């Protein structure tokens, strides 16, 4: 589903305006006495990355911060990276955590770890800051905790390549088959069929089961809250799921809704995510999996639903696209 109206784009923008309430804001003071407010988003060796409240991404050396802030950074980083040091040792209860604070858990049937959440705007901004062809605006609207949105396939793949080089590990987008394992339908699908042949074929099979509508609060879909927001603000809006409420009317924070049984958030709802590979046998179309906050149709919410792009395209205007990263494990 595309964001087909200016009203829906306005709704998304309104939902993402406040950001400071979504993160831990700290006042950092340098050894020279200057101060700045922001969120600690990454630590790599003696380098510290801070997302300032004015939107700037600041890279500085740990030694340039006050003694109190050095202690703050070290304690914060320790809490972010607690867990196994080897990806192969990761479990759902004890995920592998990388230098950006991204958590990864195993998905049975695959040889990868899945990120438990979508890449957020701050993480994408770190990639954009080191990529001359990009700006922070390429990660879409929002701030800390908001998933990077309206990103192209090439940008999503570029993020994975950047992260792989940064950490000397193999990060990439999930394949269609890996996604099906993660959403729980791989055993119901052919292992050799292309996504086009599988798209929407498992009727009545949803991430939550076979009932309709979804259980209230299951994920971020187009619900009664969206209808209420549209009525209150004079927007025409679009179809919603009668009788369903999740409390959101546009994009929500990563991890705002319960994870699935494997520990993965937003595998359905909120935003769709790019998959690696091709939708069709002729290899002309890229595609996404999952669903998004504007979806209300039953077919769009099927576990087997795919969203293909037109031939030759890697993005389109107002595409509700996000990034789900997987981490390859060593071959047994």
| Residues 274, 300 within the same domain | yes
Structural domain contains residue 201: yes
Which of 80, 96, 118 is the C-terminal boundary of a domain? 80
Domain with 130, as residue range(s), is: 87-210+255-328
| Residues 75, 91 within the same domain | no
Confidence of residue 45 (pLDDT cuts 50, 70, 90): low
Q: In what order do the strands lie in the sheet with 96-97?
A: 96-97, 103-106, 112-115, 326-328, 171-172
pLDDT at 21: 31
pLDDT at 22: 34
Residue 17 has pLDDT above 80, yes or no: no
Structural domain contains residue 8: no
Q: What is the mean pLDDT of residues 154-164?
A: 97
pLDDT at 123: 93
pTM attached to this predicted model: 0.81
Overall number of domains in the chain? 2
| Residues 171, 144 within the same domain | yes
| Residues 76, 184 within the same domain | no
| Residues 259, 284 within the same domain | yes
CB 31 within 8 A of CB 105: no
pLDDT at 139: 85
| Residues 48, 139 within the same domain | no
Q: What is the mean pLDDT of residues 86-102?
A: 94
Confidence of residue 20 (pLDDT cuts 50, 70, 90): very low
Listed residue (270, 260, 318) closest to 291, CA to CA: 270
CA distance 116 to 139: 19
Confidence of residue 83 (pLDDT cuts 50, 70, 90): low
Q: Which residues contact 24 (CB under 8 A, 6 or more apart)?
A: 39, 40
Identify the CATH number of the domain in which residue 41 sits.
2.30.30.700
pLDDT tens digit string along 27-43? 999 998 898 888 787 77
pLDDT at 4: 41
Structural domain contains residue 249: no
**What distance separates the 2 farthest-apart alpha carbons in the chain?**
63
pLDDT tens digit string along 262-318? 999 999 999 999 999 999 999 999 999 999 999 999 999 999 999 999 999 999 988
Confidence of residue 19 (pLDDT cuts 50, 70, 90): very low
Structural domain contains residue 217: no
Confidence of residue 1 (pLDDT cuts 50, 70, 90): very low
Which of 80, 108, 129 is the C-terminal boundary of a domain? 80
Angle between helices 6-15 and 224-233 (to 10 degrees): 100
| Residues 159, 292 within the same domain | yes
| Residues 301, 185 within the same domain | yes
| Residues 58, 180 within the same domain | no
Residue 12 has pLDDT above 60, yes or no: no
| Residues 110, 178 within the same domain | yes
Structural domain contains residue 223: no
pLDDT tens digit string along 194-241? 999 999 999 999 999 999 999 999 999 999 999 998 989 888 878 999
Other CB atoms closer than 10 Å to residue 222's CB: what's the count? 29
Choose between 5 and 217: higher pLDDT: 217
């Amino acid at each position: 589903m595309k964001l087909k109206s200016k009203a829906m784009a306005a709704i998304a923008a309104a939902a993402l305006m406040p950001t400071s309430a979504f993160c831990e804001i700290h006042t950092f003071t340098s050894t020279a006495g200057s101060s700045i407010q922001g969120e600690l988003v990454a630590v790599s060796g003696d380098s510290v990355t801070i997302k300032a409240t004015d939107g700037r991404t600041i890279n500085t050396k740990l030694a340039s911060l006050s003694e109190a802030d050095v202690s703050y950074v070290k304690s914060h980083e320790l809490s972010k990276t607690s867990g196994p040091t080897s990806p192969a040792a990761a479990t759902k209860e004890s995920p592998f955590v990388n230098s950006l604070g991204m958590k990864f858990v195993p998905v049975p049937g695959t040889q990868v770890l899945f990120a438990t959440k979508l890449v957020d705007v701050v993480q994408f901004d770190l990639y954009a800051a080191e990529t001359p062809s990009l700006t922070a605006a390429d990660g879409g609207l929002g701030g800390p905790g908001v998933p990077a949105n309206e990103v192209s396939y090439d940008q999503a793949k570029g993020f994975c390549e950047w992260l792989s080089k940064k950490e000397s590990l193999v990060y990439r987008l999930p394949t269609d088959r890996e996604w099906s394992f993660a959403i729980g339908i791989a055993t119901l699908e052919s292992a050799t069929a292309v996504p086009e042949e599988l798209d929407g074929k498992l009727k009545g099979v949803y991430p939550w089961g076979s009932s309709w509508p979804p259980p209230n609060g299951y994920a971020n879909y187009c619900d009664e809250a969206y209808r209420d927001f549209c009525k209150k603000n004079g927007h025409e809006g679009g179809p919603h799921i009668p009788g369903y409420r999740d409390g959101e009317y546009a994009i929500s924070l990563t991890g705002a809704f319960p994870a699935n049984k494997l520990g993965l958030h937003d595998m359905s709802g909120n935003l769709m995510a790019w998959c690696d590979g091709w939708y069709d046998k002729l290899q002309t179309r890229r595609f996404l999996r999952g669903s998004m906050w504007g979806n209300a149709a039953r077919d769009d919410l099927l576990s087997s639903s795919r969203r293909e792009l037109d031939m030759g395209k890697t993005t389109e205007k107002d595409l509700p696209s996000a990034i789900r990263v997987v981490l390859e494990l060593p071959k047994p």
